[in-house]
Amino acid sequence: MSDRNRSFRLSRRQVMRGLLASSAFGLTAKLSTGCAQSPGTGGDAATGDAAAEEIVVGFIYVGPKDDFGYNQAHAEGAAAMVANVPGIRLVEEASVPETTAVVETMRNMIEIDGAKVLFPTSFGYFDPHILTLAAEFPDVQFFHAGGLYQEGVHPNNVGSYFGFIDEAQYVAGVVAGRMSPTGKLGFVAAKPIPQLLRNVNSFTLGAQSVNPAATTQVVFTGDWSVPVKEAEATNSMVDQGVDVITCHVDSPKVVMETAEKRGVYTCGYHANQSSLAPKGYLTGAEWDWATVYTRLGKEFMEGKTLMSGAIPHILRGGLADGFCKLSPYGPAVTPEAKTDGDAAIAGIKSGKVVIYKGPLETNTGTEVLPTGKSLPIDDVELEKMDYLVKGVVGSI
């Protein structure tokens, strides 16, 4: 009973427990969930008989909506869909891990909120989670960013969409190549998957189109979100004399801020990061989900659906189709660089500029394309890319 005398004081053990539990809690919060890689573009869905009826559209993100990256790009697109298409009601859930949690979230959106169209945006939601729910709710449309839909294999109410954002990377490369005094560019990359390699290679080819001697140093961090390694990679590249840095990670925030602090130029990715690097931000390859989602939203309101065949199961496009875009030029960009960048955009949109054309060889000397041969941006060969082009410093 002597305890009573020191009634409310915490013992050391309790303090330790509290600290341990809080740090474990912090870890829980930090470590949750994985990867939101991959491309995408508008999906859509539809229901009912048009006009008067409200359509509930659910968006699910794997991370926070304000991550300056992949998730923010989708969230901004969703907001644009609601703003531009009357009759759409949006329900959203962020930071949903790729486990049973996303299945429950989709189910709640359908059963409680009455969602008729779902956009689970993370790459890893697709198999098995979306496929499970799609089979169970055949009248709900599921749109997934990533282009994984296979005709005849996957349910009819599943569609996928993605964009050729390497076109935007090419333009960013043009601007970077023009602006870099040394011609040494840097690329902080997550994992060597085809889609990421396309970005590295396009960026490099863009730079080489204005400065044939330009090189890109690439550093793979190994995962989609490892801020410490991303900062280390950025710093070490600046130390080596790289003066323009871009990246392909889930959230480019750390790379942009670190590069800005070190006084080098940056090109963004996923979303507009100019506010993070007001001085050095040149431009960036952004998703243009606003365009794609608005288009799809209108189709939903017209009663078009995947199931009826009015909306294709695979949607893809590049700069010309409004699937991706460039951030507005930053204050540092010179008029010549702007002219070159604008010309590249126009060239890609009109089809005059083809990014992957011969002679093209890898940085280990293997020929990819002979002179005179080229691959259009939607060629499936490009989706299997497993090489780095000449001028990229690094290996897979």
Partner 1 sequence: MASMTTWRRSLEAVALPVGAVFVAFVIFGIFCALAGANPLAVYGSIYKAAFGSWSAWQNTLIRAAPLMLTALCTALPARLGLVIIGNEGALVMGGLAAVLTGLALGPSLPGGLVLVAMALASLVAGGLWIMLAGALRHYRGVNETISSLLLNYIAIALMNQLVQGPLRDPAFVSKPSSYEIVETAWLGTLPATRIHWGLIYGLVASALAYILIQRTTFGFAARTAGGNVRAARIAGLPVGKLTLAVCFLAGSCAGLAGMVEMAAVQKRLNESIVSSYGYAGILVAFVARHNPLATVLVSVLLGGILAAGGILQRSHNLPDATVLVFQGIVFLCVLYSDSLYGRLPIFQERSERPGSAVAAS
Summarize as ranges the residues that interact with partner 1 (CB under 8 A). Answer: 1, 3-4, 7-11, 14, 17-18, 20-22, 24-25, 27-29, 31-35, 37-38, 64-65, 91-101, 104-105, 107-109, 111-113, 123-124, 126-128, 146, 148, 191, 222-223
Q: How far is the CB of 267 from partner 1 (least distance, A)?
A: 26
Q: Which is nearer to partner 1, 108 or 235 (CB)?
A: 108
Q: Which is nearer to partner 1, 4 or 335 (CB)?
A: 4
Q: Which is nearer to partner 1, 66 or 302 (CB)?
A: 66
Q: How far is the CB of 15 from partner 1 (least distance, A)?
A: 9
Contact present, 327 and 287 (Cβ < 8 Å): no
Contact present, 300 and 294 (Cβ < 8 Å): no
Q: Which is nearer to partner 1, 14 or 182 (CB)?
A: 14
What's the full length of the chain, in residues? Answer: 396
For residue 351, the one-letter residue type is G
Q: Which is nearer to partner 1, 148 or 189 (CB)?
A: 148
What torsion, rounded to 10 degrees, do the Cα atoms 159, 200, 235, 264 define? -100
Q: How far is the CB of 103 from partner 1 (least distance, A)?
A: 8
Q: How far is the CB of 375 from partner 1 (least distance, A)?
A: 19
Q: How far is the CB of 35 from partner 1 (least distance, A)?
A: 6
Q: Which is nearer to partner 1, 3 or 239 (CB)?
A: 3
Q: Which is nearer to partner 1, 224 or 265 (CB)?
A: 224
Of 251, 230, 237, 183, whose CA–CA distance to 211 is shortest?
183
Q: What does the radius of gyration of the chain's CA atoms come to, in whole angstroms?
A: 23
Using CA atoms, how far apart are residues 63 and 176, in angstroms rounded to an integer?
29
Contact present, 72 and 327 (Cβ < 8 Å): no
Q: How far is the CB of 129 from partner 1 (least distance, A)?
A: 9
Residue 190 to residues 32, 172, 249, 316, 347, Cα–Cα distance (Å): 18, 19, 5, 23, 29
Q: Which is nearer to partner 1, 50 or 226 (CB)?
A: 226
Tokens standing for residue 338? 């702007």
Q: How far is the CB of 32 from partner 1 (least distance, A)?
A: 5
Burial of 19 (0-12, 13-18, 19+ CB in 10 A): exposed
Of 118, 114, 68, whose CA–CA distance to 93 is shortest?
118
Contact present, 75 and 61 (Cβ < 8 Å): yes
Q: Which is nearer to partner 1, 38 or 215 (CB)?
A: 38
The DSSP symbol for 128 reads I
State the residue for tokens 């907001």.
79
| Cis amide leading into 359 (omega within 30) | yes
* Run of H or E residues at 326: strand 324-326
